[in-house]
Amino acid sequence: MKKILVSGLLVLAALSAGAKVQLTPLFTDNMVLQQNCQAPVWGKAAPGATVIVIPSWNGKTYRTEADADGCWQVRIPTPKGGFRKYTLTVSDGEPVVLKNVVAGEVWLASGQSNMERTFGHERFIDFFTDRINSASDWADVRMLTVSRSTGMVPHESFEAEGGGWEESSPGTIPHFSAVGWFFGQRLLQELKVPVGIIHTSWGGTIIEAWMSEDALKGYPEMQEPLAMVRALPDSEAEREESFQTQIDAFMKRATASDLGTIGGVPVWAQPSYNDGAWRTIDLPLVVQQLWPATNGIFWFRKEIDIPAEWAGQDLTLSLGTVDDFDETYWNGDLVGFSRLWSKLRVYTIPGRMVKGGKAVISVRNVDDHGNGGLYGDASLLFVEGPDGRRIRLDNEWKVALSVSFEGIPRSAAREPNLATVLYNGMLRPLAPYAIKGAIWYQGESNADKAYRYRDLMADMVLDWRRLWGYDFPFYITQLAGFKPVTRVAGDNDWAELREAQTLATQVVDQVGMACIIDMGEAEDIHPVHKQEVGERLARLALARDYGRKVVCDGPKFASYKIGDGCVRVRFSDEAGGLCVLPSGDYAELRYGKAGMDFDMVQKAESGILCGFQIAGPDRVWHWAQAVIDGDEVIVSCPDVPHPLAVRYAWGANPICNLFNSEGLPAWPFRTDDWPGVTYGKL
């Protein structure tokens, strides 16, 4: 308490000494204000100080007084959108002048890694080279990128990449959200006004992290997580210090329990040790394939034959990457170690240790979170002799689990997957900045609890609207296809997550969804076709919020009728008609190299309608034949003479090719309500 009091007195003294009014990065040069509204402007000043705000577009003075905490806010009328550049002066006696201010359309962009992915990502740089080089042609797509931050309590301010708002240019666009930018570019192109994107995302995060305590307190399973967050200090340094104390004690106990090391001697690394009872595997390998959801201390051993002519000479041992830590032994002697999971392990075996004949390589692998093991590039696993010859190590090894890290402490210092912490640190400080609406791309991290996502997605939209104080439009990006192509009909968690996203559009007003089921990639959870994603989200805004006559939805399930051994499924939003569209040059990325040999992929690429499943009273799903008949699809299967239900595009990476005449894909759906694989999971 004393520390807080002293800190507060110092802040007050600084403000009283005439420091400039304090503004968050929302209010900087290059900012975009929502046009034709009463826009809030706020900040901090000395308690009781008079603050004036003067916008150059009308020259009027807006005056207020800072409260006892130094907080102040005024609302100013903003002009019609356009490319005229204004200034905004804010002063408590010493003016701050914001330059290059424009009025236009402002949207919030948020989610996990697919929204966060920037043009500067290695794969995207090559794919979007022309777009990056010509970014200055679209300078008035301006972006504010919120820096990653967690908060145990709601924060008032935040930090921004680049210090605040930035215009598009070859120098700035590499750290812009690609989806957010393409969304903004399409709006600018159509509306002819500047577009500001406030981008706040964090890869790999769960939806609960983006929701307030008030929104989550009604969920029974969230009571313990919420209590844990309340108990944590808001200071990141204090959280890290507490974690280090806990993890040091845990690792000390774990090391003492390591069966492979007794009294400091690595007994499992000794050449004489009998590893006959160990599991035999080929490397590279993620150890969680053998011990699911397990972290701990794993030992790897491999026996090789050293050529006689290498004796007495230095050798190079390459293991690629080892996740997370390693101690590597040669015939029982330590030859290298590292605590950085991404570092390539290349160790020198001194000539004094090298003898012709049998040699045993042993790796003590400490995996404290996520995946573990030696699972990098197989070509990096070798022993190289002085003559350049190599002994391959990407084959038979022995492996054993020595210690399981059950109950290992997790650092909360910068952990984003805690309830409320991203809402507190990366969303709350943005309100009540005037926005038109929000776009959202998240869900991968909640797929294992897809049924619960039905409630969470809808509640999050309402939560954000309460924060801003009005019902703005909210557009969801449905998950793209990912993982090996779906070969077996039946239940799937990713399909259930997409269903939850669809349901949010049905239970909350002004919520739409961009279906991108055709834009996924089998081997990359971050598909490169971000332009199509941004433009499909923009279609929704243009049609629903700006009155443009554009088709914004793909075909959606409307109704179905069973009869004569088939099911007739009727669709809405078919535009000029239903059609089949193969993926063409994109097919190999979408379905994966291995998937291209699958007969259903070949049918889909030849123009045959695919993606429908059908089930009868036994609830066993079968792939179905389907044909288009006007705004309907007739679905049947000879193995299901009495059909009850139909599903379409139901799988993690489904083969599906039904579109409307505008080239927008049909939404995944099912006609049944049978419990799925995530039913009841909280």
Looking at the DSSP assignment, which residues form a beta bridge with residue 513? 476
Mean pLDDT computed over 532-550: 98
Domain range summary for the chain, segments of one domain joined by +:
2-104, 108-215+417-545, 266-404, 556-670
pLDDT for 67 equals 97
pLDDT-derived band at 91 (thresholds 50, 70, 90) equals very high
- Note whether 648 and 562 are within 8 A (CB): no
Residue 111, pLDDT > 50, answer yes
In this structure, the chain runs to a length of 682
Q: pLDDT tens-digit profile of 223-232?
A: 999 999 999 9
Q: Would you call 27 helix, strand, or coil by DSSP?
A: coil
CA distance 283 to 373: 9
Residue 571, pLDDT > 60, answer yes
When comparing pLDDT for 247 and 43, which is higher?
43
Residue 5, pLDDT > 70, answer no
Residue 572, pLDDT > 70, answer yes
Pull the structure tokens for residue 154: 């709601």
Residue 14, pLDDT > 50, answer no
* Maximum distance among all Cα pairs of the chain, rounded to whole angstroms: 90
Amino acid of residue 239: R
CA distance 210 to 467: 12
Burial class (CB in 10 A: 0-12, 13-18, 19+), 249: exposed
Q: pLDDT tens-digit profile of 455-504?
A: 999 999 999 999 999 999 999 999 999 999 999 999 999 999 999 999 99
Mean pLDDT computed over 499-526: 97
How far apart, in Å, are the Cα atoms of 204 and each of 6, 38, 112?
Answer: 38, 36, 6
Burial class (CB in 10 A: 0-12, 13-18, 19+), 533: buried
Contacts of 675 (CB under 8 A, 6+ apart): none
Q: Which helix (H) or strand (E) holds 625?
A: strand 625-629
| Fold category of 108-215+417-545 in CATH | Rossmann fold (3.40.50)
Q: Would you call 375 helix, strand, or coil by DSSP?
A: coil
Beta strand 333-338 pairing with 325-330: antiparallel
Task: Provide the 10 A C-beta neighbour count for residue 400.
Answer: 17
pLDDT for 19 equals 61
Mean pLDDT computed over 282-298: 93
CA distance 162 to 643: 58
Q: Would you call 326 helix, strand, or coil by DSSP?
A: strand
Phi, psi for residue 441 in degrees, rounded to 5: -135, 95
- Average pLDDT over the chain reads 95
pLDDT-derived band at 409 (thresholds 50, 70, 90) equals confident
What's this model's pTM, rounded to 2 decimal places? 0.84
499-512 burial: b if 16+ Cβ within 10 Å, else e: bbbbbbbeebeebb
pLDDT for 474 equals 98
| Fold category of 2-104 in CATH | Immunoglobulin-like (2.60.40)
Looking at the DSSP assignment, which residues form a beta bridge with residue 621? 615
pLDDT for 172 equals 98
Do the domains 2-104 and 266-404 sit in the same CATH topology, yes or no?
A: no
CA distance 361 to 330: 5
Q: pLDDT tens-digit profile of 306-336?
A: 999 999 999 999 999 999 899 999 999 999 9
Amino acid of residue 67: D
Q: pLDDT tens-digit profile of 590-648?
A: 999 999 999 999 999 999 999 999 999 999 999 999 999 999 999 999 999 999 999 99
Which overall architecture, per CATH, does domain 266-404 show? Answer: Sandwich (2.60)
Mean pLDDT computed over 211-219: 98
Beta strand 315-321 pairing with 344-349: antiparallel
How far apart, in Å, are the Cα atoms of 57 and each of 46, 81, 248, 340?
Answer: 28, 12, 59, 54
Secondary structure string (H, E, C) spanning 508-575? CCCEEEECCHHHCECCECCCCCHHHHHHHHHHHHHHHHCCCCCCCCCCEEEEEEEECCEEEEEEECCC
Contacts of 436 (CB under 8 A, 6+ apart): 34, 105, 106, 107, 472, 473, 541, 545
Whether a cis peptide bond, with omega within 30° of 0, leads into 324 is yes
